[in-house]
Structure 1
Amino acid sequence: MYNKNINEFQGQIKTALKEALPTLDLTCNRLFQRLRLKSHLTGAGIRKCEGYAAVHLVFVMFISVFLNLPGLCGPAHLNLTALTAAGKDAFYRLKHRDLSWRSFLWRFLGFVAQQLGWSQQAPTEAYVVLDTTVLPKRGEKIEEVSFVYDHSRGRSVLGYELLTLLMVNSQGYYPLDFEYHFSNKKGHAYQAATVSRRRSSLDRRRLLAQQNKFDVSLQMVQRALAKGAKALYVLVDRWFAAPNFFLNLRWLGVHGIGRLKAGKSRYLYQGREYTMEELYRLVKPNLSRCRALGYDLARVEVTCANGLPGMIVFSRGYREPQVNLPAGAKLPPQPKWAAFFTTDVSLAAAEVVKKYLCRWSIEVFFKEAKTLLGLGKDQGRSFAAQVCATTLTFLRFHVLAFVKAQGDAAKTIGGLFREMAEEIGLIQFQDKIIAYFRQFLTATLKRLKRSLPISASFGAVVDTIDIVINELDLCQGCET
C-alpha cells in the first residue's frame, strides 16, 4: 500500500541524459542499471522508505551534488517536481535509519572489481593506502562529534576524523572502506549516539570509532584482504609507520612501506643500535643519485627493536607534495633528508620511494571528495546520517572512476565531475520547463472543463488561464 509509481521520473532522466551526454556514452541512469545498484541495495537489506524504492532515493541524492543542491535533501527542499515527487521525510528517514551501508559498499565494489578485471592485475602493482582526514562540523549537538587535531590547520577542530582505506592499481585509485574516530575531548553540548538493544552495524561502527586507530586500521586491512583485495603493499604516512604496526601487517601476509619519524627509536645495524639520525650520518657518504626521481638515495638493512627485519631507505632532496594546503597558507619547512621503511628487503631503494609516492593518491582523493563530491558537507545531526553521506560520496567517486576507466584515461575525476555537472544542470533546467508546461496545460484544461460552458467568451477563457497560472506552485514568487 506504500508503492508509488516512479517510472515517469526514471524515464525523464534516462531520455534527457541520452540526448544530452553523447560524449560520455554512459549516463547516470544507465550506470545505475549497468552497475546493478538496485540489486546491491536489496542484498544489503536497503529497500523502501516512505513508499519509495531505496534506489530511487539514492539516485536523487547521488545526482544532487552535480546539481549544486544544498545537502542530501536539496531536491525535496527546492520542490523540484521534475526531479522527484518524494518529500523531505523520505530522504530524512533513509538517512537516519540504521542500515548496512558497509555491506552495500562492499557488494558494489565486488561488482566493479569484476567489471574492471582487478583479479587479473599483479598484486605487486596494487597498493592499499591508509590515512585519515578531518571533517569539520559546526554544531556541538551532532551525535558523537568531538575535537580532533587537524594537521593542515595545526590545531584541534570540532568534527570527525575519518580513517580511509584506498586501493591503488594500474587503472586508478578507489576508496574501499572507512571508519570514524572519536576523541575523548567533547564539546559542551555533546550528544552520544543512540544505542539499540540489538547490536547493529551502526553500533559496531560507533564502538570501533572509540578504539585505537592502529587496531581499527589493521581490521580494515584484514577485511579488505578477506573481501578479495589483491595487494602486496600497504602504504602509510609517518603517523602509522611504527615497528609494531609493520609487524602486524606481516602477520596478515602483506608488506608495509612508510615514511619514518626522526625520533628516538633504535635500529640494529651491523651489530650495533643506532637512532635514525645516527644511521643517516653513517650512510650519508654512500648516497647515490637517482636520475629518474631526482633524489640521492641509500639503503640499509636493519632489525627493529621488536625483532622485525626490514630496510630503511634514506633520501636527500625529497619534498612532500602540498595537496590539502589552504590557499595563501605558508609552506611548511622541508627537512634536508627523509627516511622510508619497508619490510620487503628485496626492493631497490628507488622502488621503495616510487611505491611510497603512490600514497599521495589518497591525498588527492580527499581533496576531490571534499571540494567536488560533498564529503563532510552533510548537515544531519545523527551519526547514521553521517555514515550515509560518506557512503554516497564514495559511491559518486566510484561511478566517476568507473566512467574514467571505461573511457578516456587522460581525463581526471575533477574534469568528469565538471562535465557531468554541466550536462545534468542543463537537464534539470529542461525538465523544470517541461514540468511547468505539463502542469500548466493539465490544470488549465481541467479548470476549463469544470467551470466554463462550451459557449464561454474568449475573455472568460483568458481569465481562467490567468487564475491557473497564479495558483501553480512553480509560478509562486515569479513576476513573469
Structure 2
Amino acid sequence: MNIVAHHHRSSELLSSKISHFLEEFHVSKILRSCNAYKVRGFSAKTVFQVAFENAFSNKSFFQKEKETLPSLPFAKDTFYRFMNSCSVNWRKFTLQLGFAVIHKIAPLTDESRRNVLIIDDSLFSRSRSKKVELLAKVYDHVEHKYTKGFRMLTLGWSDGNSFLPLSHCLLSSANRENRLQEASVGVDARSNGGKQRKLAQTKATSVLQTLLKEAKAVEIPAKYVLFDTWFCSPISLIQIKEIGYDVIAMVKKSETIHFRYNGRMQSATAIFRAATKRRGRAKFLLSVEVEAVKDSMSTPVKLVFVRKKNNRQEYLILASTDVNLSEEEIIQTYGKRWNIEVFFKMCKSFLKLGKENRTMSYDAMTAHVSIVFARYTMLSLEQRRNADKRSIGDLFFASYDELQDLRYMDALLLILKKFIDRIKERMLFMEKELDEMLNSFLEKLPLLWHNCLKHCA
C-alpha cells in the first residue's frame, strides 16, 4: 500500500508541475492564437495537457483511456479530432512557446553573450508503415541505408547552457519518385495543414529560410545561425546573411563548393593546399578571409582550418560570415551546435518521439512533434532553474555569477567528437582502434592541451 500511495503522490506532484508550466506561459492563449480551440465542451488546453502528460505517465492515450476511463474528462474521439485537426498552426505554437520561455531565461545572461540559432535534421522513422501520408524514402546516416520516414528539420535556440526547440517541419521529399504516398486530397490547401504539407514537399534549404524568417519576425534574440555541412553552401551563407543573421558552419571538403580567394574561385581544399600554414603547435592550422559568391551576390567569409595533430592530412573547416570574430570565438561558438544532438537523443530516448503516435495522418504527426518539443521545453526550463541560482530571486540574482558559457576547450572537444563520429560513418573501425587513435592524438598534444582535453573527456 505504501508503494501505491507513493506513486499516487508522485503523479500528483508531476501533474501539478505540468499545470503550473502551462499556466505560467499562458499555453491556452497560445493555443487559441494558433487556431486550436473548441466551440463547446472541454477546452483545447485540457486535451493538450492529457497529450502532454502521456510520456511522463509512461502510458499511451489508448492505455490511459482503457484503464482509467472514469478519470478522463473527455471521450477518445475528442482527443483524436484534436490531434488530426488541419486548422492548427503547430509551427507557430512551438515558436511562441519558445519565445515566451526565452524571455524568462534572457535576464539570467549577459547581453554580450553570443546567443545562437541551430539548424539540423534527424530521422523520423516510419520503417514499418506503408500508407502514412507523405511517407518518403530517406537516407539513414547511422545505418547507412535508405528507410521509410521523414527528415525532421528542427530550429532551436541556445545561449550555451539551455537549448529550446523553436520550430520544425517533417520533410517528405521534393522528388516525386522518392515519395511513397501523396498528401490527402481532402485537405484544403489554404488551411494550416495544407500549407504545412506543401512546405514538407519543398527542398530543405528553402524550408530552412522559412523557419529563420519566422524566428526573425518574432524577434528571437540571437545573432548567429549554426549548422553542419549538409546546409553549408555559398548561396545559403548569402541568403541567411540577407535575412539578418551571421552564419557559423562547417564546410564540406568538396571540390564543387567554391569561394573567391585572391581573385579566383577555388574550393576550400585548394585554398588550404595553396596557403601558408601556421607553424608549430598553433591552435588552428590556417585562417583566411574569402568571399562567398553566387551570381551577382557575395558576402565576406572567414575560413578557419582546425588542426588534427595525429594526421596532418585531416582537418576540419569552419566558416563564419562575421569576419570580426577571432578564430577562438568561432570555434567556441560552433561548439554550441552540439546541444541539438543532445536534444534529438533526449526526445527519442525519453520523450517518446515517434513512438507513442502511429497515426497515418500528417497533421497528427506534426501535432505529436510539437507536443514532444513542448515537453523538452519544460524540462529544459526546470534544469536551468535548478542549475542557475540567479533564477531564485533578486537577492540570488545579485549575489551569484551567471552560468559560464561554453569554454574554448569544451568547444574543441565537441568538434573532435563530431570528427570521430564522421570517421565511424565512413570507415569501419573497431571501438578499440578508435580509442587507441584518440589516445595517441592526446599524447602528442602540448601538456596544457593534453590535460585540459583529458579532463573534459
2:222 equivalent to 1:222: no
Q: For residue 240 of structure 1, report the CA deviation from its aligned partner.
A: 0.8
**Which residue of structure 1 aligns with residue 328 of structure 2?**
350
Q: How far 1:118 moved relative to its partner?
A: 6.0
Give, in angstroms, the shift of residue 393 of structure 1: 0.5
| CA spacing shift, 1:213–1:25, aligned 2, 3 Å | closer
How many Å apart are 1:395 and its aligned residue?
Answer: 0.7
Name the aligned partner's letter for residue 226 of structure 1: A
Which residues in structure 2 correspond to 1:329-478 (within 5 Å)? 336-377=314-355, 378-409=357-388
Mapped partners of 1:228, 1:318: distance in 2? 42
Say if 2:237 is the partner of 1:246.
Answer: yes
Residue 129 of structure 2 corresponds to which residue in structure 1?
A: 139
Supply the RMSD in Å over aligned alpha carbons: 3.1
Please state if 1:202 is matched with 2:190.
Answer: no
Q: How far did 1:114 drift?
A: 2.9
Residue 177 of structure 1: how far off its partner (Å): 0.5
Structure 2 residue aligned with 1:427: none
For the residue of structure 2 that corresponds to 1:48, the secondary structure is coil
State the alpha-carbon separation in 1 of the partners of residues 70 and 259 from structure 2: 65
Q: 1:468: which partner in 2?
A: none
Show the counterpart of 1:111.
100
Aligned equivalent of 1:443: none
Contact persistence 1:124–1:232 (CA under 8 A): no
- Aligned residue for 1:91, secondary structure, equals helix
1:176 correspondence with 2:166: yes
Cα–Cα, structure 1 residues 334 and 136, in superposed 2: closer, same or farther, change >3 Å? farther
Instruction: Quote how far apart the aligned CAs of 1:385 are.
Output: 0.5
Q: 2:51 aligns with which of 48, 61, 83?
A: 61
346-355 vs 100-109, greater mean Cα deviation: 100-109
The TM-score, its normalising length taken from structure 1, stands at 0.71
Judging changes above 3 Å, is the alpha-carbon distance between structure 1 residues 85 and 79 closer, same or farther for their aligned structure 2 residues?
farther
Deviation at 1:251, TM superposition (A): 0.9
> Cα offset for 1:268?
3.0
Q: Kindly provide the amino acid, as one letter, of the partner of residue 372 in structure 1.
A: F
Aligned to 2:419: none
Q: Which residue, out of 86, 90, 100, partners 1:101?
A: 90
Q: Which residue of 1 aligns with 2:204?
A: 213
* 1:342 CA drift (Å): 1.1
How many residues align? The count is 377
Change (3 A) 1:64 1:301: same
Distance 2:48 2:246 in 1: 38
- Which amino acid in structure 2 is aligned with residue 161 of structure 1? R
Distance 1:167 1:391 in 2: 15
Residue type of the partner of 1:267?
F
* Rg (Cα) greater in structure: 1
Instruction: Say which is worse superposed, 21-30 or 175-184, in terms of deviation.
Output: 21-30
Report the 3-state secondary structure (helix = DSSP H, G, I; strand = E; otherwise coil) of the residue aligned with 1:303.
Answer: strand
Change (3 A) 1:121 1:170: farther
Retained in 2: the 8 A contact 1:163–1:178?
Answer: yes
* Mapped pair 1:268 → 2:264: no
Residue number in structure 2 paired with 1:420: none
Task: Please state how far the C-alpha of 1:123 moved relative to its aligned partner.
Answer: 6.7
Query: 2:318 is paired with a residue of what secondary structure?
Result: strand
State the alpha-carbon separation in 2 of the partners of residues 76 and 220 from structure 1. Answer: 35
Per-residue deviation, 1:89: 1.5
The equivalent residue for 2:116 is 127
> Which region of structure 1 is more displaced relative to structure 2, 39-48 or 352-361?
39-48
- Which residue is 1:88 aligned to? 76
Structure-2 separation of matches of 1:66 and 1:213: 32
Give the Cα–Cα distance (whole angstroms) in 2 for the partners of residues 185 and 127 of structure 1.
34
**1:401-433 superposed Cα distances (whole Å, 9 cap, x missing partner):** 1212222359xxxxxxxxxxxxxxxxxxxxxxx
Counterpart in the other structure of 2:33: 43
Contact 1:233 1:255 in 2 (8 A): yes
Letter in 2 for 1:280: F
| In 2, Cα distance between equivalents of 1:42 and 1:391 | 15
* Aligned position for 2:21: 31
Q: Distance in 1 between matches of 2:339 and 2:42?
A: 37
Contact 1:128 1:231 in 2 (8 A): yes
1:369-396 Cα deviation digits (max 9, x unpaired): 1111122222011111101100101110
Displacement after TM superposition at 1:80 (Å): 1.6
Contact 1:140/1:188 (CA < 8 Å) preserved in 2? no
Contact 1:298/1:349, CA 8 A, preserved across alignment:
no
Contiguous gaps of at least 5 residues in structure 1: 1-14, 320-332, 411-480
Counterparts of 1:334 and 1:80, CA distance in 2: 63
Cα displacement (A) at 1:186? 5.9
- Structure 1 pair 273–313 and aligned structure 2 pair: CA distance change class (3 A): same
The corresponding residue for 1:78 is: 66
1:101 aligned partner, one-letter code: W
Q: Which of the pair is proportionally richer in helix?
A: 2
Distance 1:170 1:358, change over 3 A: closer
Structure 1 counterpart of 2:135, which letter? Answer: V
What secondary structure is seen at the aligned counterpart in 2 of 1:358?
helix
Partner SS for 1:339: strand
How far 1:62 moved relative to its partner?
A: 0.9
Q: From the superposition, tell whether residues 22 and 93 of structure 1 become closer, same or farther in structure 2 (CA, over 3 Å).
A: closer
Q: Distance in 2 between matches of 1:57 and 1:288?
A: 63
AA paired with 2:376? F
Q: Which runs of 5+ in 2 are unaligned?
A: 390-457
Shift of 1:85: 4.1
CA distance 1:24–1:176, shift in 2 (3 Å): same
Match of 1:325 in 2: none
The residue type paired with residue 285 of structure 1 is: K
Aligned 1:228-239 pairs, distance under 5 A: 228-239=219-230
Seen in structure 2, the aligned counterparts of structure 1 residues 180 and 110 have a Cα distance that, compared at 3 Å, is same
Partners of 2:334 and 2:103 in 1: CA distance = 27
Structure 2 vs 1, CA of residues 220 and 260 (structure 1 numbering), >3 Å: closer, same or farther? same
